[in-house]
Structure 1
Amino acid sequence: MGKKRKHSETEAAAIANKDEVAEERPKRTLLGFKDSNGDTKENDIAPAGFRNKEKVLVTCTRRISFRYRHLMLNMVDLLPHCKKDNKVESKNSKGTALNELVELKSCSSCLFFECRKGRDLYLWMVKCPNGPSVKFLVNAVHTKEELKLTGNHLKGSRPILTFSSDFDQKPHWKLLKEMIMQIFGIPKDHRKSKPYHDHIFVFSIADDHIWFRNYQISCPHVGTHKVDRGDLEKMTLVEVGPRFCLKPIKIFGGSFGGPTLYENPFYVSPNQIRSLEKRQKAGKYAKKVKAKTRRKMHEMENPLEVDEFADMWKE
């Protein structure tokens, strides 16, 4: 019995010591660690600042042409913070399906390449799940493989985004500028990106179109010595590709739909342009038919005189 009491006394003492040690441990707060007196220590841990967790889902519709598919793959190479997915059916329910897909992929934005009739390419630039979303008509598409330019930059490096001064003139251009900055701006310290800048994304406005260019920052070989100001002045820009032109059609308040915030009054669909061309060609053909009928009527009204010697040599 005496031995059991001694063991119980030692266990109680150990538990009391553990409680004292637990009370002496510093308490962690949002601003750092505090000791038992409530004073912060010198080597406090600062609170974590804002971290950009932007992720972009890049996908397209089925039956997309090879040139537009290569353009999409070029954009995937330029955006290391994006995620690819399988092709989506282009139907009326594509909005709800894409919203669910973006949520499953844990993304906050989406670039959706929609190809119609195998010739017309539309680009949806969407902030999910609450919007806004923009629908563009893509023209003047040139991929990297097609251009064969001399520029080259490392894959995964962060770009410098540059915009023309026209983006600050009208409210819908300001909205588009903010969306482009959030989607095309690679987050800092991303696991797939490089911690330096060696190329530039240029967005400029001309004829109510957004023109995209990608340039490499080329500097002379400096070797082991330090870079001087003269070396920085010798830097040049070499185009890498791809190239394309975006014509805004509509800006919606929601994701893949919702109230219309802006509508381009100068937009004409490619179907209307093709129908007008067909009508013009049909008009040219109709003019030829009318001219032929007029010629026949003129010949009937003005017959040629009968030649007296026409049957002379017939035997």
Structure 2
Amino acid sequence: MGKKRKHSETEVVANVTKYESAPERPKRTILGWKDKTEEKKEGNDSNTCFRSNDKVLVTCSRRINFRYRHMMLNLVSLLPHCKKENKVESKQSKGSTLNELVELKSCSSCLFFEFFMGSQHMYLFFLISVPDLWMAKCPNGPSVKFLVNAVHTMEELKLTGNHLQGTRPILTFSTNFDKDPHWKLLKEMIMQIFGTPKDQRKSKPYHDHVFVFSIVDSNIWFRNYQISCPQTGASKVDRGDLDKMTLVEVGSRFCLNPIKIFGGSFGGPTLYENPFYVSPNQIHALENRQKAGKYAKRVKAKTRRKMHELSNPVEPDELEEIWKE
């Protein structure tokens, strides 16, 4: 029979086998071998990384015109952090329904194109087809109501500019936005709604186009430009050539006329009201009055002509009945 080993000898053998075992194989990746220390560092970085979940819900009401529906689709293609929703019936309770939709879609802002028919006559549907744009921060506000004018879609303009879909835009504002407090509020809302959040999933991490917001005649004009760089083949752009960059317009174009600024979401106390705003119905009524004035002038001219002919009859001609015999 073999001799049993002493307890001290077994401890020595166990220690030898423990330290002589092969080290664990590092994890292999596409870029090469990866150590555990690097994994720990990356895990800490992922925990500290900030990712904003700010999203924008884009929707419209029923009976909207085809031109503004195409403009809404252009905005959806320009904003990678937006979500599109079906048409919503614009009634008195539209604020509560839209806030519920924004919450269900896990969004924080909303762009709502509301079409309101000014009269029951059907012909006004074609004449006064100008919707209102609601720009709101949900659910606590504030919110702004705009009148949309001078709309030109990408399909209509057919401009030469082109940029990749999902890239981050550079927002530029004119100096007029820093003069009055209501323009400062509008600037902050536009930055939060049109600016792509950091580390957004559908966005690309570079800039190749510019959103320009400028104030002219108390209206906000929107333009979209591509940043074109002078390149020759596959060579990169040098720092000296950055001054040679040009802007090429892509589209779309539109003009926003602010009507009111509310303290809540789609309502609430009025913070600002535009004193120079004139509704499209009033403009259409003034045009009809001018046309009615022209028609009344023509009727008066005809009656004056008849009275003049009756008061000054033409004398009969002596040779009028010669050829009748």
TM-score when normalising by structure 1? 0.83
Report the Cα distance in structure 1 between the residues aligned to 2:42 and 2:112, rounded to whole angstroms: 48
Deviation at 1:144, TM superposition (A): 0.4
Q: Which runs of 5+ in 1 are unaligned?
A: 1-41
Taking the TM superposition and a 5 Å limit, the aligned residue runs for 1:35-46 are: 45=44
**Equivalent AA in structure 2 for residue 215 of structure 1:** Y
Report the Cα distance in structure 2 between the residues aligned to 1:301 and 1:95, rounded to whole angstroms: 68
Taking the TM superposition and a 5 Å limit, the aligned residue runs for 1:19-34 are: none
Report the Cα distance in structure 1 between the residues aligned to 2:217 and 2:235, rounded to whole angstroms: 46
Deviation at 1:106, TM superposition (A): 1.1
Q: Deviations over 1:64-113 (max 9, x none)?
A: 11111110000000111111111001222211111111111111000001
- SS for the counterpart of 1:95 is helix
Which residue is 1:245 aligned to?
255
**Equivalent AA in structure 1 for residue 280 of structure 2:** P
Identity of aligned residues (%): 78
Matched, 1:262 2:272: yes
Deviation at 1:115, TM superposition (A): 2.1
Q: Does the CA-based 8 Å contact 2:230-2:237 persist in structure 1?
A: no
**Equivalent AA in structure 2 for residue 263 of structure 1:** E
**Equivalent AA in structure 2 for residue 101 of structure 1:** L
Which residue is 1:181 aligned to?
191
Matched, 1:142 2:152: yes
Taking the TM superposition and a 5 Å limit, the aligned residue runs for 1:71-150 are: 71-117=71-117, 118=125, 119-150=129-160
Report the Cα distance in structure 1 between the residues aligned to 2:152 and 2:42, rounded to whole angstroms: 55
Instruction: Tell me which of 198, 217, 235 is aligned to 2:208.
Output: 198
Taking the TM superposition and a 5 Å limit, the aligned residue runs for 1:43-82 are: 45=44, 48=48, 50-82=50-82
Which residue is 1:216 aligned to?
226
- SS for the counterpart of 1:83 is strand
Q: Does the CA-based 8 Å contact 2:148-2:255 persist in structure 1?
A: yes
Report the Cα distance in structure 1 between the residues aligned to 2:139 and 2:106, rounded to whole angstroms: 11
Structure 1 stretch displaced more, 105-114 or 217-226: 217-226
Deviation at 1:299, TM superposition (A): 1.1
Deviation at 1:279, TM superposition (A): 0.7
Paired residues, number: 275
Structure 1 stretch displaced more, 281-290 or 214-223: 214-223
Deviation at 1:43, TM superposition (A): 10
Report the Cα distance in structure 1 between the residues aligned to 2:78 and 2:43, rounded to whole angstroms: 39
Report the Cα distance in structure 1 between the residues aligned to 2:142 and 2:49, rounded to whole angstroms: 26
Report the Cα distance in structure 2 between the residues aligned to 1:147 and 1:226, rounded to whole angstroms: 31
Deviation at 1:212, TM superposition (A): 0.3
Q: Does the CA-based 8 Å contact 2:51-2:200 persist in structure 1?
A: no
Report the Cα distance in structure 2 between the residues aligned to 1:314 and 1:196, rounded to whole angstroms: 95
Check 1:43–1:131 CA distance in 2 against 1; reply closer, same or farther (3 A cut): closer
Q: Does the CA-based 8 Å contact 2:51-2:199 persist in structure 1?
A: no
Report the Cα distance in structure 1 between the residues aligned to 2:319 and 2:249, rounded to whole angstroms: 78
Which residue is 1:19 aligned to?
none
